[in-house]
Amino acid sequence: MSMANLEIEQAAGSNDAWFVRRGAGTPQDGLAALFRLMGVAEASPHATAPITTRRVRAGVALFHEGTCAQAVYFIAVGTFKLMHTAEDGYEQVLGFAGRAEMLGYDALCQRSYPTTAVALEDSTVYALPAADLFGLSARVPALGRVLHLAASRQMLHQVEIAHLMAAVSAEVRLARFLLQLSDHMAERGQSPRRLYLRMSRRDIASHLGVAHETVSRSFGALASWGCVAVNNREVEILDRERLLACASNTRGLVHPRCGAAADGPRLARAQAAFG
C-alpha cells in the first residue's frame, strides 16, 4: 500500500505550508488516514470527505477560545494542552491531549470554541469542517461512528480527570497524573516507564489544582520515596506498585477500619506508600 506510512509523510511534509489539501486526485485519502489513525476499518471504500491536514508549531494555538468553530480536529502526531481563560484572565489547564484524540468537539453545540488548544510540540492534526459535519456524519456512517467513539472516549477521560481531582493530597494527585500518563503512553505502544513531560510545571500545577511550587515538592516527595526518578522533565517510574499504593489514598487513609491508620497523617501516608 502506498499509504502505509501516511502520517509519517505528513509529519515530515512541507514546513512552510500550514494548510495542506489532501487527496486532490484520490479524495478518500484523508478519510482513510483518519480511519487508520482512529483504529477502525473503513466500511465504505469509495466514501469522500473534505479532510485537510494542518501542522502546528510548538507554542502555537490550534484554535482560540471564543473564535468561530470552523473544524473538529484529530491529533495525528503531537501533544496539545487545552485551557480555559476565565473572565478575570486566570488560565486554567483543562487537560492534555495526544495522538488519536479529538479536539474542538465541544464547540458543536454553540458557535464558538469554549476552550483554547495550544501545541506543546510540533504537531499535525486532521481537520473536519464543522459546517457540514452532521451531513458528513450522515452520508458516511463510519465517520459518524468515529465521532461518537471519540466523543465517548473523551468523556471517559473526563472521569479519569475527576478521579485525579478527588484526591486531597498533592502527592496523590501527582501520582495519579503520572499513572494516567503512563497508561496513555502504553495505549499508544510507547514505554510506560520512561516519560518525557511535554508540559511545564506550571501547566501541571494548573491541571492538578495546586501551586507550581507544590508540584516541585511533590515530585521530590515521590522521588524520595523511591517511586520515581525525576530529572527536570524526564520522569522514570521506578516502582509502579509503590506509586499505585501512593495513588490509591483518596482521603487521608481510605477506610478508617482497614488498618492501624492515621497516626500523623503525613507519616501514615508515607508508610502506606512503602507498605
Binding flag, residue 251, a second copy (CB under 8 A): yes
Which of residues 121 and 153 has its CB atom nearest to a second copy in the complex? 153
Q: Which residues bind DNA (CB under 7 A)?
A: 168-171, 200-202, 209-217, 219-220, 230, 232-233, 251-252, 256, 262, 264-266
Q: How far apart are CA 48 and CA 135, in angstroms?
A: 12
Residue 153 touches which of DNA, a second copy, none (Cβ within 5-8 Å per kind): a second copy
- Selected from 4, 24, 41, 109, the binder of a second copy by CB under 8 A is 109
- Nearest to residue 93, comparing CAs of 170, 174, 202? 202
Residue 94 touches which of DNA, a second copy, none (Cβ within 5-8 Å per kind): a second copy
Three-class DSSP category at 23: coil
> Facing residues of 133 across strands?
none
- Selected from 116, 124, 137, 182, the binder of a second copy by CB under 8 A is 137
Residue 202 touches which of DNA, a second copy, none (Cβ within 5-8 Å per kind): DNA
As separate numbers, helices (DSSP H) first and strands (DSSP E) second, the chain gives: 9, 12
CA triplet 244, 247, 252: central angle to 5 degrees?
A: 135
Residue 275 touches which of a second copy, DNA, none (Cβ within 5-8 Å per kind): none
- Residue 96's region, left for phi above 0, alpha for psi from -120 to 50, else beta, is beta
Q: How far apart are CA 207 and CA 222, in angstroms?
A: 18
Beta-carbon contacts of 88 under 8 Å, excluding residues fewer than 6 positions away, are none
Q: Would you tell me which residues interact with a second copy (CB under 8 A)?
A: 84, 86-90, 92, 94, 105-110, 114-115, 133-134, 137-138, 141, 144-145, 147-149, 151-156, 158-159, 162-163, 165-166, 168, 209, 248, 250-251, 254-255
